[in-house]
Amino acid sequence: MSGASAAASETVRHEGLMSIGEVLAHLRADFPDATISKLRFLESEGLIQPQRTAAGYRKYSREDLARLRYILTAQRDQYLPLRVIRDQLAALDAGAPAIGGGPTGIADRSDGRGEGARLRPTLVAVPPTQQPDPPADLADVVLGREELLTKAGLTESTLAALEQYGLIAERPGGGYDADSLEVATVAVRLAEYGLEARHLRAYRAAADREIGLLTQLVAPLARQSNPAARARAAETVRELTAYTDRLRGALVRGGLRQTLGGSR
């Protein structure tokens, strides 16, 4: 190994740079929905800028990892759209408080560069001896019928009823996806309060109406063959459904408050 390569390797080892797979492993404990595609999308949107080796492999610093935690926390806990998060990050990069608040603890700035330092270290060259980025995750988790019953704590008769009312359906190629597991799990909890599958038909009808409405907004992006556009469509779906979840919850809580308050 040449002197320059040895020095670069020593610097990388000192700074603890990570591959995209290693970063994902760190994030998954707190953000189980995080995927390699998600990290690449955030990079394409300019929210994170990992370093690149001479061979083009992504390498992330501890500051990059903290920045990703900030972004994912803002999305999960505050339902913030990317444009707001981008403004907050720009404010933090400039050493100012995040615009409109935001998650705390974005990065450990004690790297010897002083208060207000940028979130990213100086670019370090890495010899092309690393493994390539792992491929993107599979589209969805696929569960067999017995696995779905076990994970959700569901009975066969209840699953059959949920399928009858259109709340759960097998994938075209067979098996059930992660959303089916979520529906099944919630259905089990609601059954504890006396709500059966037949009572949930209204949610299926409401979901179908919402799907029709949001499809009109997202379809133009989803139809494009450009991977960046399709990733943006997926992110738009996530943001829209987060907002509609909040809206639905607020309406139901407000309605129940009025109804129960008026019955006293």
**Total count of residues recorded for the chain:** 264
**Long-range pairs of 202-209 with CB within 8 A, sequence gap ≥ 24:** 203/167, 204/165, 204/166, 204/167
Q: What is the pLDDT of residues 186-204, one digit of tens each?
A: 999 999 889 999 999 999 9
Q: Coil, helix or strand for 176? A: strand
Question: Could you tell me which of 63, 37, 38 has the C-alpha nearest to residue 50?
Answer: 63
For residues 233 and 51, which has the higher predicted lDDT (pLDDT)?
A: 51
Question: Could you tell me which of 138, 137, 141, 211 has the C-alpha nearest to residue 176?
Answer: 141
Please give the Cα distance from 185 to 204 (Å, whole number). 16
pTM for the model? 0.52
Residue 134 has pLDDT above 70, yes or no: no
| Percent above pLDDT 90 for the chain | 34
Please give the Cα distance from 189 to 101 (Å, whole number). 35
Question: Which range in 14-23, 78-87, 205-214 is most confidently predicted, on average pLDDT?
Answer: 205-214
Residue with tokens 């990703």: 68
- pLDDT score of 6: 44
Cα four-point dihedral sign 64, 68, 69, 74? positive
DSSP single-letter state for residue 59: E
Residue with tokens 């987060």: 242
Residue 126 has pLDDT above 80, yes or no: no
> What's the Cα-to-Cα distance from 165 to each of 140, 158, 196, 204, 205, rounded to whole Å?
23, 11, 11, 8, 10
Structural domains of the chain, ranges and CATH numbers in brackets: 1-136 (1.10.1660.10), 145-262 (1.10.1660)
For residues 107 and 58, which has the higher predicted lDDT (pLDDT)?
A: 58
Q: What is the pLDDT of residues 47-76, one digit of tens each?
A: 999 999 888 889 999 999 999 999 999 888
- pLDDT score of 120: 39
- pLDDT score of 102: 54
Mean pLDDT of all residues in 105-116: 42
For residues 103 and 9, which has the higher predicted lDDT (pLDDT)?
A: 103
Confidence band (pLDDT; 50, 70, 90) for 231? confident
Mean pLDDT of all residues in 70-83: 85
Q: CB of 138 within 8 A of CB of 174?
A: no
Q: Coil, helix or strand for 60? A: strand
